[in-house]
Structure 1
Amino acid sequence: MKNNTIKKTLASAIVTTTLMSGAALAESEPVKIGFLLPYSGTYAALGNAITNGFKLALEQNNNLLGGRDIEFVTIDSQADPSRAPQNMSQLVNSDEVDFVIGPVHSGVAMGMLRVAKQTDAIMIITNAGLNAATNELCGPNIFRTSFSMWQDAYPMGQVAMDRGFEKVVTITWDYSAGQEDVAAFEESFTAAGGEVIEKMFVPFPSTEFQSYLTQIASLNPDAVYTFFAGGGGVAFVRDYAASGLNKNIQLLGSGFVTDGNLEAQGEAAEGILTTLHYSETLNTPENNAFVASYTTSFGNGPDTYAVQGYDAGMMLVQALAQVNGNTEDRDALINALASVELDSPRGPMSFSASHHPIQNIYLREVRDGKHDVVGIAAEQLQVPDTACRM
């Protein structure tokens, strides 16, 4: 009996020592961060801004996470949805990263999410706005530091009514992001008593807008609500002004129609009203410090994409400090990530039960080539991810 007790004690000690040795070994290795972002093509600037913001957050914390060094593994997503599952699998299964950061494109996100759900890899979405990511496709290991199409568009419906715009035309590309965006605007606008008198969907990625602008002129609405981004945003805003519609019909949109585009749009953008979760002109200590640091480090000011990357970095800084750098205890790590609260450049930010940011949505007006903050269109807005089942 005595010998059996001794054997059990020794066996327990060996197991405990082995577990401790494994944890100590893991914590002596670098935290591995995988970036799956576009570094070439149309969205390269967005991928670079997210990466710059993320790395700036870590630099401000001595390039350590929970006391551990950091190793980066980078894959160019090329904004290609067909390559997303393979690229995600490489980061998770071959490179064995601890966290995956990205993507920009919602189609790429869909492919990444499938692999994340199969492997339990921790994924932090730093841009893609598809509503399903934290709703139907949510999971304990899925987080977002950006937005959903609903969150940035919904507040503009009430803004439009408050300003007396009772009859509105909507126009966007005929693809999921555009459809989700204008649907969110219409939801709040009609609930407030407004009427969408025409819904226009432009084949993606066409930037031939003249026939639509002619139709808008004939309808003579109080305002036009739009979602376009990148080159499409530049072309639409320029064409809208060139047609003279901006003189009599207010142009409204979620912030991506002008974000990152103001220099290219020039005077054509003056007076546009948008709603978004960040503005470079927010006059807070946190944003002023961030703008100064980012500009010093990269030679140009930050945009929304940079903030989304920065907050993903700060999220890991806070969570890894809470678990003392231990990435082996998955439950503790996920709980730490979910409990993060940031004094972000965008304002206060925390996470809902679906791991979506709870954040302010600002009403912005383009004045002299900048997004002036007119007010808060929705304070600490929480996305109704009613289909999320963790």
Structure 2
Amino acid sequence: MKLTNKGMQRSLAVVIAAFLLFLTACGSNGGSAPASSGTEKPAGNQADSVKVGVLLTFSGPFATVGEGLKRGLELYFELNNHTVGGKKVELVYEDDENNPQVALRKYHKLVDEDKIDLLIGMTTSTTLYALRDQIDRDKKPLIVANAGGNDSSWDKKSDYIYRAAASNYQQGAAISDYIAKNVGKKAYIVSYDNPAGREQAEAFKSAYEAAGGQVMQMEFPKVGTNDFAGFMTQIAQAKPDVVYNMGPSTDGMRFAVQFKEFGLKDKIALISTVPTDLATTPEMIAALDGVYGIKIFKDSLDNPATKKFMEAFTKKHPNIPPNIEIMGYDSAMLADKAIEKAGSTKAEDLIQVMKNISLDSPRGKFQMDPKTNNPISDFFVQKFVVKDGKLGFEYLDTMKDVGMPEKNPFKK
């Protein structure tokens, strides 16, 4: 078939147009930059919203801690129109299963696939230590919601990791002086065989002995221990004045119940770190009655931030006494205020703000210490009390301005 002049002209025009389109496409790509993989963060997302990864433990023995942190985190954003730094917040949750390998895999998913701006997380010291080096290399800001690992403020301190909770050092040491001076001079320690358990026990022992007390024995049962009979027998034989039990999850609740069942509760004072929301039966409530503890939060503090938190929390969760939740709440507040003050979600801008940030927290004082990237806060000595079948607190004393040493005092 022959082409007419008009047909040839149309064909030539199509070829030229296609060629020009090809040149335009090459030019827009600079001739060398790779095409988008489809995983890059959209250009408008930075201006319109902030994506926050939340990496906590939602399964296994520490699931109750993760759920409590989530309740506090979400309450803060609900009270602040679901914004952070004045921009809409998008929360991306992942369960680290309290497994270092799983935590690292979920972290990479949040950073590489979800393109988060910053991370809130780490329920346990185990997962915090597992992710520390990768976070430092990636320069991805992390707000630690619960994990108290001391070394993240000492030898493994990173410019990109800031704690909203309390260190293991603070949690172990804060109550020691009061106990030595008001409860008894001889202590027996039963604490988790994991980083948090050993670090809190070490801090309690050091501060307790500095206050004139004597630690008779230290035992470290495995996480998930069901039967504490052997430990109860040893405690009964040792006859201490007080037992310090670091067991913040279901292990701690089992220990308190068995402590009462073995008839030790009426003879020996017990210090426990178990959260009140685990006491779900009359047996558990009775086991905690009269037990000592230490908290970073006092629900009756006379300040607007505490009243606002308590009003909102009790309305939303009328049957749960707030405990772990305050650390989730403060983690969200730290993210919000840091982005607001920095005017940016860039890592280098955020860390400059977080180093010295102070918060109007429901817990009262919250002042970040730039020497440790850990907050200085008041701690409250308490005793569990049962009224009308419900578990509450009697506050005994306030430990003011509790921080932690700049250097590891236990390092040999």
Shorter-chain TM-score tier = 0.7 to 0.9
Alignment-mate amino acid for residue 370 of structure 1: G
When residues 208 and 282 of structure 1 are mapped into structure 2, their CA distance, relative to the original with a 3 A threshold, is: farther
The more displaced of 152-161 and 293-302 is 293-302
Please tell me the residue identity of whatever aligns with 1:363. Answer: V
Q: Is 1:43–2:65 an aligned residue pair?
A: no
Partner AA of 2:116 in structure 1: V
Q: Show structure 1 runs of 5+ residues with no match.
A: 1-21
CA distance in 2, matches of 1:60, 1:289: 9
**For the structure 1 residues 171 and 84, does the alpha-carbon distance in structure 2 shift closer, same or farther, using more than 3 Å as the test?**
same
Match of 1:19 in 2: none
Alignment-mate amino acid for residue 366 of structure 1: F
What is the aligned counterpart of 1:192 among 211, 217, 235?
211
Between 227-236 and 286-295, report the one with greater CA deviation.
286-295
Relative to 1, partners in 2 of residues 1:243 and 1:385: Cα closer, same or farther, differing over 3 Å?
A: same
Residue deviations 1:114-162, cap 9 Å, x none?
Answer: 2211100000110111111222221111011111111011022211221
202-211 or 185-194, which moves further after superposition?
Answer: 202-211
Ranges of 4+ aligned residues in structure 1 off by more than 6 Å: none
Equivalent residues in 2 for 1:364-383, closer than 5 Å: 364-368=382-386, 369-376=391-398, 378-383=399-404
Tell me by how many angstroms 1:240 deviates: 0.9
Residues 49 and 302 in structure 1, CA contact (< 8 A), matched pair in contact too: no
| Shift in alpha-carbon separation, 1:291–1:371, aligned structure 2, 3 A | same
Q: Counterpart of 2:331?
A: 312
CA contact (8 A) 1:85 1:112 kept: yes
C-alpha distance after superposition, 1:293-314 (max 9, x if no partner): 1232345445332111111111
Query: What does residue 170 of structure 1 align with?
Result: 189
- Residues 207-356 of structure 1: pairs in structure 2 closer than 5 A: 207-253=226-272, 256-264=273-281, 265-282=284-301, 284-301=303-320, 303-324=322-343, 326-328=344-346, 330-353=347-370, 354-356=372-374
TM-score by length of 2: 0.82
Supply the RMSD in Å over aligned alpha carbons. Answer: 2.3
Change (3 A) 1:163 1:136: same
The answer to whether the aligner puts 1:358 opposite 2:376 as a matched pair is yes
The amino acid of 2:361's aligned partner reads: S
Q: 1:162 to 1:316 in 2, by over 3 A?
A: same
CA deviations on 1:37-59 (whole Å, 9 max, x unpaired) are 12333333322322222222223
What letter corresponds to residue 237 of structure 1 in structure 2?
A
Asked if structure 2 preserves the Cα contact closer than 8 Å seen for 1:233 and 1:261, the reply is: no
In structure 1, how many angstroms separate the alpha carbons of the residues matched to 2:178 and 2:85?
Answer: 43
- Relative to structure 1, the CA distance from residue 31 to residue 290 in structure 2 (aligned partners, 3 Å threshold; closer, same or farther) is same
Q: 8 Å contact 2:124–2:196 — kept in the other structure? A: no
Measured against aligned partners, the alpha-carbon deviations of 1:299-357 in whole angstroms (never above 9, x if no partner) come to 54453321111111111222222233x223x3332222223211211111110112101
Secondary structure at the aligned position of 1:129 is classed as coil
Contact 1:39-1:76 at 8 Å conserved across structures: yes
> Retained in 2: the 8 A contact 1:100–1:123?
yes
**Taking structure 1 as reference, are residues 80 and 321 closer, same or farther at Cα in structure 2, changes over 3 Å only?**
same
Q: For residues 87 and 191 of structure 1, do their structure 2 counterparts lie closer, same or farther at Cα, with a shift above 3 Å needed?
A: same
CA drift at 1:258: 4.3
2:53, 2:92 within 8 Å by CA — same for their partners in 1?
yes
CA distance in 1, matches of 2:62, 2:232: 27
Is the 2:275–2:324 contact (alpha carbons within 8 Å) kept by the matching residues of 1? no
Aligned-partner residue type, residue 293 of structure 2:
T
CA distance in 2, matches of 1:258, 1:296: 20
CA distance in 1, matches of 2:95, 2:220: 31
What amino acid maps onto 2:274 in structure 1? Answer: V
Q: 1:131 to 1:197 in 2, by over 3 A?
A: same
Name the SS for the 1:289 alignment partner.
Answer: helix
Cα distance, 1:67–1:196 mapped onto 2, change above 3 Å:
closer
The residue aligned with 2:405 is 384
SS at 2:277 equivalent: coil
Question: 2:54, 2:93 within 8 Å by CA — same for their partners in 1?
Answer: yes
- The structure richer in helix per residue is 1
TM-score, normalised to structure 1, is 0.86
Give the stretch that moved more between structures: 119-128 or 280-289.
280-289
Task: Give how far 1:366 is off.
Answer: 0.6
Larger Rg: 2
Give the Å deviation of 1:208. 1.5
SS in 2 for 1:385: coil
Measure, in 2, the Cα distance between the counterparts of 1:164 and 1:299. Answer: 33
Judge conservation of contact 2:223–2:251 (CA < 8 Å) in 1: no
| Higher RCO (CA < 8 A, seq sep 6+) | 1
Q: How many aligned positions are there?
A: 362
Which consecutive unaligned segments of at least 5 residues does structure 2 have? 1-40
Structure 1 residues 26 and 211, CA gap change in structure 2 (3 angstroms): closer
Tell me the residue number matched to 1:125: 144
Task: Find the partner of 2:75 among 45, 56, 67.
Answer: 56
Secondary structure of the 2:366 match is: strand
The one-letter code of the counterpart of 1:157 is S
Counterpart CA distance in 1 for 2:147 and 2:241 is 31
Equivalent residue of 1:342, what SS?
Answer: coil
1:27-38 correspondence runs (5 A):
27-38=46-57
Matches within 5 A, 1:66-215: 66-163=85-182, 165-215=184-234
- For the Cα contact (< 8 Å) 1:279–1:372, is it kept in 2? no
